[in-house]
Amino acid sequence: MIDANAPLRVDNIIRVERPVGETVSFHTGTIVNAEVMDIIGSGMVMLKISPPAGKSEGLEGKTIKAKTLVPLSKGDLIILEAHKDDEGLRFKIIGRNVQWLEAEEPMDSAEIISCELPETLPKGAETLPPKFLELFKNMCSFRLKSGDFKILKDMLNSIPQLLKDNFQEFDALQNLLPEIEDMNTKFFKKIVETSGVLYETRLKLLALFGKTFQGDDQKRLLMKIRDIIDSEQTANILKYEGLNKKDLIDTIDRFLKNIEFYQLSSNINDMLFTYVPIIWNDMRDGEMIFKKEKRDDTNAFTCDIKLDLVKLGMILVTITWFDMEFYIYIHAENPVTVTTLNAGKSELKNRMEHSGLKVAHININQTNDFKSFGQGIPHGLDIRV
């Protein structure tokens, strides 16, 4: 599992002093794994490099001596991105291996808000060590409502144009926070893939196939923006514009921790669990879950979308794809909303089938039985019924 608790900072750098043995070289942007073999002292470490599969070029198992301000311990496993500057080769830490069950450092009690343990843990979860369950329980407090993303949008709007002109990350992140009016099928797919919940998974795949990171990702951009804001070179600009650097960093950290909550929830529930990163004034909150049916004799996929809307109330949409057909179940809290949705049921079916999507069933009902946000959806459609 990748540690997302330490976002990139200006000092989050490992600078190569010299290789041990033969000379080694890396292309800029290459992502590699490394193990800390020894701590020499004075910020010096010995790293054993594991290059991407198929891209070893004789580097497998090579050891390098490097200098860093980042606290590291012998045995640490880290993910590095290679860069080159006037002083030579350097690596930026973009991920860190964490043994969650061995964590000894208590979390800051000021940041912990008591919440109920989610009910969606996988079978056998009750046998997990109490420390793991307690960690997950505490992370509930990190979750933000989708409506809170207006705070992030406002923060990006407050950034001086001079910084935006020099660092494209600000506009790139803003482009991943669309207004509901801008939404379409392709854009929806993009914001799910780039929500940050899949960031480390994408890094692992890139490292496996020896490719560099391309495109945008919310977690990656948030970490880079934190790096920019925390640098000395931007301090005077922010101060001149009357912006508080600490407040900006605290805002970024809130959204990074929100992503971490969904990453951990996805991991222990064996599904993709993510927020709805859309700026929608009528939406108080929203979540999405993508999961595969686990029965061996079934090849089915389900998407659950849960929304809390100001005018329409709570809505849960469950879409299951099985045997080349779609089964759609919509549950709404407000009876008026149910009536409105039923009136458009035929149009929904016609639009889907016109797009080549075969619809087996659409069912719309009223219910008040909604699970709390942050707990996922415990039961999907039983496609064998």
pLDDT tens for the chain, 385 residues: list them.
333 333 333 344 555 655 445 555 666 667 777 888 888 766 678 888 876 544 444 455 677 788 776 667 778 777 777 776 666 667 777 665 433 323 333 333 222 222 334 444 444 445 555 666 666 666 677 777 777 888 888 889 999 999 999 999 999 998 888 888 887 777 788 888 888 888 888 787 777 777 766 778 889 999 999 999 988 888 888 888 888 888 999 889 988 988 888 888 787 777 888 887 788 888 888 888 888 876 656 678 888 999 999 999 999 999 999 888 999 999 999 999 999 999 999 999 999 999 999 999 999 999 887 776 655 544 443 333 2
Judged on CB neighbours under 10 Å (0-12, 13-18, 19+), 385 is exposed
Predicted local distance difference test score (pLDDT) of residue 326? 92
Predicted local distance difference test score (pLDDT) of residue 375? 59
Cα dihedral 60→61→66→72 (10° resolution): 120
Quick check: 213 and 220 in contact, CB under 8 A?
A: yes
Predicted local distance difference test score (pLDDT) of residue 109? 26
Residue 40's nearest CA partner among 76, 87, 72 is: 72
Predicted local distance difference test score (pLDDT) of residue 269? 72
Q: Tokens standing for 322?
A: 């099985």
Neighbours of 155 (CB within 10 A): 19
CA–CA separation, 325 and 38 (whole Å): 56
Judged on CB neighbours under 10 Å (0-12, 13-18, 19+), 215 is exposed
Quick check: 238 and 159 in contact, CB under 8 A?
A: no
Predicted local distance difference test score (pLDDT) of residue 106? 33
Distances in whole angstroms, Cα of residue 20 to Cα of each of 47, 56, 59, 65, 211: 10, 17, 12, 7, 26
CATH 2.40.50 fits 13-96, yes or no: yes
Predicted local distance difference test score (pLDDT) of residue 338? 94
Q: How many CA atoms lie within 13 A of 227 on its CB side?
A: 19
Place of tokens 């879409």: 319
Neighbours of 184 (CB within 10 A): 9
Predicted local distance difference test score (pLDDT) of residue 383? 33
Q: Would you say the pTM of this structure is higher than 0.75?
A: no
Quick check: 339 and 332 in contact, CB under 8 A?
A: no
What is the edge-to-edge ordering of all strands in the sheet holding 272-275?
272-275, 283-292, 300-309, 313-322, 325-332, 359-366
Predicted local distance difference test score (pLDDT) of residue 69? 66
